[in-house]
Amino acid sequence: MARLHHHHEHHGSDLAQAAQHALTAAGEQWTDMRADIFAVLATFEKPASAYDIADLVSQKRGKRVAPNSVYRILDLFVANNLASRVESANAYLANSHPGCLHDCIFLICDRCGAATHIDDDSLTSNVRKAAEAAGFHVVRPVVEVRGTCGDCD
């Protein structure tokens, strides 16, 4: 069973401010491009690709933004807990609670594409311990469970 704990879920401008605070607290700059990419990422309810984000940021800015630039910024966001990467889909979701650190566990619906993030520290702790016992130096476990969500059943 997942360990329950309270998250302060951020939304809208509050989420952007929380993301900006987390990034600057990590010693990184909150540039206009980073702000635009985060703002677009935060609008997606399902995992978004760098190409989807680049298209929308390009429209917003009135000039083409290269997906490679978006990938670099998304990697920075993941490294600083502003976003999560759904590995199997090569797609990203904004983290609505950037101040709360947990390993990623995603439930991914194969029909509608929804990805639900859950926290179960005991499960990911066991994954870390098993990897370390095998001599593996863990950076961060990512657990993805594919299936069908309750809305698609």
5 vs 128, residue with greater confidence: 128
pLDDT tens digits for range 26-65: 999 999 999 999 999 999 989 999 999 999 999 999 999 9
**Which of 144, 28, 27 lies closest to 93, judged by CA?**
144
Report yes or no on whether pTM surpasses 0.85. Answer: no
pLDDT at 68 over 60: yes
pLDDT at 13: 58
Question: In sequence order, what DSSP letters do the residues of 20-37 get, joined into one string?
Answer: HHHHHHTT----HHHHHH
Q: CA–CA separation, 115 vs 134, rounded Å?
A: 30
Contact 106, 144 (CB under 8 A): yes
